[in-house]
Amino acid sequence: MRQSRSETLPIRGLQYHVRLWGNPAAPQLFMLHGWMDVSASFQFLVDELKGDWCVIAPDWRGYGHSGNTRADVYWFPEYLADLDALLTHYSPDAPVNLLGHSLGGNVVGLYAGVRPERVKRLINLEGLGLPRTKPEQAPERYRRFLAELADPPGLKPYKDFAELAARLRKNNRRLTEVRADFLARHWGEERDGQVVLLADPAHKIASATLYNLDEAQACWNAITAPTLMVTAAHSDLVKKWIGEDEARQRLTHFRHLTAAVMADAGHMMHHDQPEELAALIEEFLAR
């Protein structure tokens, strides 16, 4: 297992934890994790990379060892601004290789259209947006938002890392015991005799605003970087949440697109098939 090192940066008023692997002088590859995840989640993928890379992976605000906002909710544009500041720190002049999974994939997909000059190559792991919404859904969404502010959701504690690892394996049958144990020890930490997740519960509060697919597609249309979009054959996100026909339509908004499907993987493809995914990524970056 390749050893990572940590840095802490002041980013927009928060202390941001950034995990790095590899030679600092090697070509950079930024990796952005998904919802309720942490940067260490990319460990298995990094272990399978054959080339010489400096992998840079932050914990998003309110996750892992990065600071919490201390606010009621997390607003999606904050991720774009955080990413912009991180790239300014690590690569102020040169465009970057940018990879994002799920939430991270949605962030990098928007960012690559908002600042196309900053992205050299884009790798999007199931960042195809959220289900389409209608204006008629707004009253109920606002009601839910207000209700959850009044009675905020929490995060279940676990008696030990073994219980958390078992829960991870229950959620993902492809996850090995060794990988589940590793993830449990990076997703959680011991507090007062229990293991709690390293995530601000405020992430679970529903957004007050509806997802605007038209805005997302306008950003995707503006991407100029070659793009690798990877989906998983056994992912509920594509099959149930968005729908396969809708997913195919959304792919048409990415120019210079290479699309790939991971055959024996679910949404957490970087846990399920890291060797295959690493080969796919490096082949794309080498073109």
Structural domain total, the chain: 1
In the 8-state DSSP scheme, what is residue 114?
Answer: H
Cα–Cα distance measured from residue 206 to residue 202, given in angstroms and rounded to the nearest whole number: 9
Cα–Cα distance measured from residue 254 to residue 191, given in angstroms and rounded to the nearest whole number: 45
Compute CA distances 157 → 60, 192, 195, whole Å: 21, 11, 6
Summarize pLDDT for 30-61 with one digit per residue, the tens.
Answer: 999 999 999 999 999 999 999 999 999 999 99
pLDDT at 207: 94
What is the CATH classification number for the domain harbouring 253? 3.40.50.1820
Tokens of 92: 């102020």
The answer as to whether 191 is a domain residue is no
The answer to whether the beta carbons of residues 23 and 51 sit under 8 Å apart is no
The answer as to whether 68 is a domain residue is yes
User: Which spans in 151-273 are helix H?
Assistant: 161-171, 177-187, 213-221, 236, 244-251, 269-272
pLDDT at 131: 94
Query: Is the pLDDT reported for residue 240 higher than 90?
Result: no
Summarize pLDDT for 253-277 with one digit per residue, the tens.
Answer: 999 999 999 999 999 999 999 999 9
Compute CA distances 191 → 26, 158, 161, whole Å: 38, 10, 12
Q: What's the gap between Cα 137 and its chain centre?
A: 26
Q: pLDDT confidence of 95, banded at 50, 70, 90? A: very high
The answer as to whether 140 is a domain residue is no
Query: Is the pLDDT reported for residue 237 higher than 90?
Result: no
Cα–Cα distance measured from residue 22 to residue 57, given in angstroms and rounded to the nearest whole number: 12
Tell me the mean pLDDT in the region 64-87.
96
Query: Is the pLDDT reported for residue 179 higher than 90?
Result: yes
The answer as to whether 146 is a domain residue is no
The answer as to whether 233 is a domain residue is yes
Is the pTM value of this prediction over 0.85?
A: yes
pLDDT at 238: 84
Q: pLDDT confidence of 64, banded at 50, 70, 90? A: very high
Q: Which of 161 and 239 is assigned the larger pLDDT?
A: 161
pLDDT at 46: 98
The answer to whether the beta carbons of residues 22 and 51 sit under 8 Å apart is no
Torsions phi, psi for 7 (to 5 deg): -130, 150
Helix, strand, coil percentages (3-state) for the chain, rounded to 5, are: 40, 20, 35
The answer as to whether 245 is a domain residue is yes
Summarize pLDDT for 191-233 with one digit per residue, the tens.
Answer: 999 999 999 999 999 999 999 999 999 999 999 999 999 999 9
Query: Is the pLDDT reported for residue 104 higher than 90?
Result: yes
Tell me the mean pLDDT in the region 150-174.
96
Tell me the mean pLDDT in the region 227-243.
92
The answer as to whether 175 is a domain residue is no
The answer to whether the beta carbons of residues 125 and 238 sit under 8 Å apart is no
Q: What is the mean pLDDT of the chain?
A: 97
pLDDT at 239: 82
The answer as to whether 22 is a domain residue is yes
Domain span at 27 = 4-132+212-285
pLDDT at 285: 98
